[in-house]
Amino acid sequence: MKAGNRPPPATPGKPKKATTFQEFESITSDAWDVGDDDDELLAMAAQNLNIEVVMETANKVIENHSKQQERQRQDDTTDFSQRDEDTQEEVVEEEEEDEEDDDTRVEEGDAISPDASFASQSSPYADSRLVKSHSEAPIGSPRDAEGERAALHRQRSLPHRPPVIPLVARMADQNTSGTPAMTEREASRLDKFKQLLGGPNTDLEELRKLSWSGIPRQVRPITWKLLSGYLPANAERRESVLQRKRQEYFGFIQQYYDSRNEEHHQDTYRQIHIDIPRMSPESLVLQPKVTEIHIDIPRTNPLIPLFQQASVQEIFERILFIWAIRHPASGYVQGINDLVTPFFVVFVFEYIEEEVENFDVSSLEEEALRNIEADSFWCMSKLLDGIQDNYTFAQPGIQRKVKALEELVSRIDESVHRHMQHYEVEYLQFAFRWMNNLLMRELPLRCTIRLWDTYQAEPEGFSHFHLYVCAAFLVRWRKEILEERDFQGLMILLQNLPTMHWGNEEVSVLLAEAYRLKFAFADAPNHYKR
């Protein structure tokens, strides 16, 4: 899809039949063809993995998580009851004081109801991702009383969240249970990473195995650079490679960036400028001729203060513009701006100790900022090299993957598949964004970074394994999906899934289930197809 074009509309309404899928049906099997490189990888995997062990391990992860969630719910119930009793005691005391002083203090004496208490706890996350509310129902289709009660029931059934989960801070360590940042096991894993990275030649295969279950924040920057292919395994060559690649990037800036206002680049730059500056509302006043990068920068993580800073937005504009003009087959496509953010945040952590979401990047030295910018550009470029057909004309890569997702879901959960068919929900209407943005619009940034740890470690993680993650993600919401009884309700749910409370635990379970699906279906095309 070229700059300026838009993906299929996500607004709920009577859907059109996606006839374009018929064109890709005949070539869907290409996504499952095994190349020579894959044969080698699968042979290696066969030596190290036993299917019974893998399945048992994945099931054990899921079972342990279920037990932890049950214990958490019981603890939450106990805590809630205690808070309610404490609140009532406070109210009684205040009323007694009111009688003695004969003074009306309504605000101090008001009791906080359980519902109000729940709402106040959730308020930091009170955006469209949490739950569907009556106000979110489309105009002209008001929910009846029964629907409101069902929505309220779903809201109350959401897992309890701790008071504060930063959007990006402590990304590697944050769990919904609020566990300490560094356990003994995590300290041991960090030592293993340091030993592996400290040698003269890093064993990338061992590094991938170690990284699959998550990378400690302290070593994530260098690990991502190694796994993406940006840095060589040989430690002696790394510094010279970094210097050369950083100089090369800023050479591109000098050569091309001034051309952003030329007529043949106006559309690209305008879209980027809109996608990025919307992070800062006052930046939306655009020049009439300023043009597709400028549109997308403001849409990049608009709730995180880090990305509202002018210097950060300028960095994103340069990265996206240079990538676009160096890849004329696709150019800039809306959504690519999202793919810069995980790299940028991870590489900022190389230079700071504190939380990143409110960090003022202007306090960094200019050289550090330049290094972060160049490293983010090259690692994003490496990622996009593997999925560029997602962004070429008509986005055939995404079309194939959405069709493959539909086929896969029909095999693993026929009830969900038939339910969406019954209400005429096309997979393209919600899964296009899942493929285009790699689930970044569906998950908090901290979860995206944890997810990318595994994607970097998994062979063809972004292009192939992502499909199984999407399938596991969809089936994860089967209960909520089957409760919806109309097209609009399904679309609102699928575009606003309640994941803002997610942390490492939820992502680990999602990845375990995705790996189980991959092991069962990826190398068994006859079992996969009907």
SS percent in the chain: helix, strand, coil, step 5: 65, 0, 35
Sign of the dihedral defined by the CA atoms of residues 36, 38, 42, 43, in that order: positive
405: which 2 tokens? Answer: 């997702």
Rounded CA-CA distance 373/328 in Å is: 21
Domains in the chain (CATH in brackets) are: 236-288+296-386 (no CATH), 396-522 (1.10.472.80)
Q: Name the residue with higher pLDDT: 207 or 299.
A: 207
441: which 2 tokens? Answer: 């619009």
Rounded CA-CA distance 502/513 in Å is: 16
Report, as an integer, the average pLDDT of 40-67.
56
Q: Name the residue with higher pLDDT: 284 or 481.
A: 481
Give the pLDDT confidence score for residue 305 in this predicted structure. Answer: 85
Convert the pLDDT of each residue in 86-119 to its tens digit: 555 554 455 445 544 444 433 443 433 333 333 3
| H or E element that contains 515 | helix 504-521
Convert the pLDDT of each residue in 187-206 to its tens digit: 999 999 999 999 999 999 99
Residue 266 pLDDT greater than 60, yes or no: yes
Task: Map tokens 């086929």 to a residue.
Answer: 407
Convert the pLDDT of each residue in 138-158 to its tens digit: 333 444 445 545 544 444 444
Give the pLDDT confidence score for residue 93 in this predicted structure. Answer: 52
Q: How far is CA 236 from CA 11, 21, 200, 240, 245, in A?
A: 53, 50, 7, 8, 16
> Please, is 71 exposed, middle or buried when counting C-beta atoms within 10 Å of its C-beta (0-12, 13-18, 19+)?
exposed
Neighbours of 526 (CB within 10 A): 5
Closest CA to 234 of 203, 207, 190: 203
pTM of the model as a whole: 0.66
Find all residues with CB under 8 Å of 217, minimum gap 6, and list them: 170, 171, 172, 173, 349
For the chain, first and last CA: distance in Å? Answer: 31
Closest CA to 308 of 322, 298, 323, 293: 298
CA dihedral 354, 357, 359, 362 (to 10 degrees): 140
Q: Most distant CA pair in the chain: distance in Å?
A: 86
Tell me the pLDDT band of 468, cut-offs 50, 70 and 90. very high
What is the residue-averaged pLDDT of the chain?
74
Q: Which residues pair with 295 in a beta bridge?
A: 272
Rounded CA-CA distance 393/432 in Å is: 15
Which range, of 148-152, 283-287, 483-487, 507-511, averages the lowest pLDDT? Answer: 283-287
Per the document, the length of the chain is 530
Closest CA to 165 of 198, 122, 109: 122
> Please, is 7 exposed, middle or buried when counting C-beta atoms within 10 Å of its C-beta (0-12, 13-18, 19+)?
middle
